[in-house]
């Protein structure tokens, strides 16, 4: 790392039901009250306001993508389609006081893009902190920090990324974001999917209890709905704080669309009664790209690649847009070579990028777990909730077909590619499963550890979404104490799993090792939840194996 602040927090700080179909046309009327109540004085009197903060993302050596949403008049609530075209200016400086301005410009916020704006800034210096803000009609946005990536061929001593996944508004507060924002040492933060959730109010909360209601109250279906839900999340002060502190690198998973989404539908979508899947998917994607500081490399997808000097490149996957429908467990179709998780073009792109990489580390931002997972003998009262959480049939067949386990031909091809080309230091960074894991990724799980490991995987738990103890409604930690040893016994490549706690990860990379520090929250339902270090695992360069370390960074 550089001499920038490397301080870290004290180690001692401590299932949805089927929804009711509601007409989405009521969204504007329902939400006008909550959003109007949130308007500051200037917006309430007609002056523009920046109610949803500012953000940056996808850092490059010479630039970064800046984002904001302006509310030009009080009635221009997100998703309403109302409000005039508004000129928005942006300013970038090397200091928080803006005495050294290095870039500025203007753009127009319109109702067509829900009054969101992006500015793709170039011409900046690599590996440099910058400060930025937006302005409209005399009103300034909050000031935020961002950071560019190191130069393409720079010899980088270290990198540090926050890593998060699965943040359900109704299930709690986003203290994980607050604690990451307070660190002050992040080059960027990775969001590995489920940045928002699509459910209607009360359908997926904290052990069935709504901690705070989201908006709209019904399940989101239309473009207006998705815009409104994104906007609600962007009002969270902890989420805003993290966006104000470091650039985000984000991919989507299923809940940015609907539960267990695939290219032609979703488990949580009823064709006809909820419109067509193609229209819903298009609306979800449009709102996502409007409301997120994401630079799509291929239109309509989130797969792309970023580079951080000679130390690491990061391949980001889109595992929802191209996948085949999830297989029925036990049918044998999980091995069908005609079924795909990635799509042919994306898998070829990933393989080629991993082979051509000349960096020390090859990181893969991966929304669903790549490591094989089987369930051994579990007590009946634990098997059913575990099956519900992981998408397994309750009869106990050992496969989660929403993950790479349901698309074994893609996984087999990818891992064989890593082995046959001697591609080392590949690390999958994963979310989705609401548990924390540290795994080797074996070529043949049945014979591991006698057979080879092709890569390693660090899986972060959920920020707030229910995990196993929440479904069982047991005290935190008690379920993991029983289940984790069983999981590890049946999966010898799994070094650690915590099925119960909520939190986040911090990935620290040097030329010698890639290390994930796992942090847990004291209470996801409290806005003042404390954070404590739980475990650290690392993989040393050249080993393709995970090991525990007692040295958090």
Percent helix / strand / coil, the chain, rounded to 5: 25, 25, 50
Could you tell me where the DSSP H helices lie in 194-276? 223-233, 237-243
Q: Is the peptide bond before 444 cis (omega within 30 degrees of 0)?
A: no
The pLDDT value given to residue 399: 63
Q: What is the torsion angle, in degrees rounded to the nearest 10, for the CA atoms of residue 66, residue 156, residue 311 and residue 247?
A: -20
pLDDT band at 163 (very low <50, low <70, confident <90, very high): very high
The pLDDT value given to residue 26: 31
The pLDDT value given to residue 386: 66
Of 360 and 30, the structure prediction assigns the larger pLDDT to: 360
Per-residue pLDDT for 493 more than 90? yes
Nearby residues of 350 by Cβ (< 8 Å), 6 or more positions away: 303, 315, 317, 342, 364, 414
pLDDT band at 433 (very low <50, low <70, confident <90, very high): very high
Query: How far is Cα 383 from Cα 378, in angstroms, rounded to an integer?
Result: 6
Burial 107-139 (b: 16+ CB within 10 A, else e): eebeeebbbbbbbebeebebbeebbbbbbbeeb
* pLDDT, tens digit, 9 for 90 and up, residues 283-333: 999 999 999 999 977 778 999 999 999 999 999 999 999 999 998 765 557
pLDDT band at 130 (very low <50, low <70, confident <90, very high): very high
Domain edges within the chain:
39-150, 158-549
Per-residue pLDDT for 18 more than 90? no
Enclosing H/E stretch for 204? none
Per-residue pLDDT for 43 more than 60? no
Burial 328-348 (b: 16+ CB within 10 A, else e): ebeeebbeeeebbbbbeebbe
Of 8 and 346, the structure prediction assigns the larger pLDDT to: 346
Per-residue pLDDT for 534 more than 50? yes
Q: What is the mean pLDDT of residues 399-414?
A: 90
Which parts of 410-452 are beta strand (E)?
426-430, 436-442
Record the pTM: 0.89
* pLDDT, tens digit, 9 for 90 and up, residues 367-379: 999 998 876 555 5
Q: What is the mean pLDDT of residues 452-473?
A: 95
The pLDDT value given to residue 384: 60
The phi, psi pair for 77, rounded to 5°, reads -75, 155
Q: What is the mean pLDDT of residues 34-47?
A: 53
Nearby residues of 307 by Cβ (< 8 Å), 6 or more positions away: 61, 149, 152, 313, 314, 359
The phi, psi pair for 380, rounded to 5°, reads -60, -35
Classified by CATH at the fold level, domain 158-549 comes out as: Purple Acid Phosphatase; chain A, domain 2 (3.60.21)
CATH homologous superfamily for 39-150?
Purple acid phosphatase-like, N-terminal (2.60.40.380)
Of 459 and 21, the structure prediction assigns the larger pLDDT to: 459
Q: What is the mean pLDDT of residues 138-154?
A: 98
How many CB atoms are located within 10 Å of the residue 4 CB? 14
Burial class (CB in 10 A: 0-12, 13-18, 19+), 224: buried
Tokens read off for 483: 């289940």
Tokens read off for 27: 């969204």
Burial 388-415 (b: 16+ CB within 10 A, else e): ebbbbeeebbbbbbbbbbbbbbbbeebb
Query: Strand, helix or coil at 192?
Result: coil
pLDDT band at 472 (very low <50, low <70, confident <90, very high): confident
The pLDDT value given to residue 385: 72
DSSP string, 3-34: SS------TT---PPPPPP--GGGHHHHHHHH
Per-residue pLDDT for 6 more than 50? no
Beta bridge partners of 117: 68
The pLDDT value given to residue 169: 98
* pLDDT, tens digit, 9 for 90 and up, residues 80-115: 999 999 999 999 999 999 999 999 999 999 999 999
The pLDDT value given to residue 400: 82
DSSP string, 481-513: HHHHHHHHHH-TTEEEEESS--EEEEEEEESSE
């Amino acid at each position: 790392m550089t001499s920038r602040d490397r301080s870290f927090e004290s180690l001692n700080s401590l299932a949805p039901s089927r929804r009711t179909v509601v007409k989405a046309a009521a969204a504007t009327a329902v939400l006008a009250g909550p959003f109007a109540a949130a308007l500051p004085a200037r917006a309430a009197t007609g002056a523009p306001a920046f109610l949803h903060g500012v953000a940056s993302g996808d850092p490059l050596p010479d630039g970064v993508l800046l984002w904001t949403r302006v509310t030009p008049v009080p009635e221009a609530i997100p998703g309403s389609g109302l409000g005039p075209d508004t000129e928005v200016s942006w300013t970038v400086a090397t200091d928080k006081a803006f005495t050294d301005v290095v870039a500025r410009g203007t753009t127009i916020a319109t109702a067509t893009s829900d009054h969101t704006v992006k500015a793709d800034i170039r011409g900046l210096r690599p590996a440099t902190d910058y400060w930025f803000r937006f302005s409209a009609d005399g009103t300034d946005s909050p000031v935020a920090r961002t950071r560019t990536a190191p130069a393409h061929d720079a010899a980088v001593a270290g990198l540090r990324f926050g890593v998060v996944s699965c943040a359900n508004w109704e299930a709690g507060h986003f203290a994980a974001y607050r604690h990451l924002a307070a660190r002050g040492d992040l080059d960027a933060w990775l969001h590995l999917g489920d940045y928002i959730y699509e459910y209607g109010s009360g359908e997926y909360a904290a052990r069935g209890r709504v901690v705070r209601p989201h908006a709209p109250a019904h399940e989101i279906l239309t473009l207006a709905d998705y815009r409104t839900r994104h906007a609600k999340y962007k009002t969270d002060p902890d989420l805003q704080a993290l966006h104000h502190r470091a650039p985000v690198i984000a991919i989507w998973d299923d809940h940015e669309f609907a539960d267990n989404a695939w290219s032609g539908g979703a488990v949580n979508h009823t064709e006809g009664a909820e419109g067509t899947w193609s229209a819903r998917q298009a609306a979800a994607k449009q709102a996502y790209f409007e409301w997120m500081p994401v630079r799509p490399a291929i239109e309509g997808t989130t797969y792309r690649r970023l580079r951080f000097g000679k130390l690491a490149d990061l391949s980001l996957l889109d595992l929802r847009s191209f996948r085949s429908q999830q297989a029925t467990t036990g049918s044998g179709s999980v091995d069908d070579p005609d079924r795909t998780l990635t799509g042919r073009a994306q898998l070829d792109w990933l393989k080629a990028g991993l082979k051509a990489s000349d960096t020390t580390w090859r990181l893969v931002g991966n929304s669903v777990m790549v490591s094989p997972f089987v369930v051994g003998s579990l007590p009946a009262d634990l098997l059913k909730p575990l099956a519900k959480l992981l998408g397994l049939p309750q009869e106990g067949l050992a496969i989660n077909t929403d993950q790479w386990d349901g698309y074994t031909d893609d996984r087999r091809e990818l891992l064989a590619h890593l082995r046959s080309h001697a591609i080392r230091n590949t690390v999958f960074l994963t979310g989705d499963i609401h548990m924390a894991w540290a795994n080797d990724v074996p070529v043949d799980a049945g014979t591991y550890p006698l057979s080879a490991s092709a890569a390693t995987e660090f899986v972060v738990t959920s920020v707030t979404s229910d995990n196993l103890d929440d479904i069982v409604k047991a005290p935190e930690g008690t379920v993991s104490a029983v289940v984790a040893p069983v999981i590890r016994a049946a999966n010898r490549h799994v070094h650690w799993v915590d099925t119960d706690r909520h939190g986040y990860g911090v990935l620290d990379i040097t030329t010698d090792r890639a290390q994930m520090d796992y942090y847990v929250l004291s209470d996801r339902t409290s806005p003042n939840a404390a954070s404590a270090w739980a475990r650290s695992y690392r993989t040393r360069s050249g080993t393709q194996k995970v090991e525990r370390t007692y040295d958090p960074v």
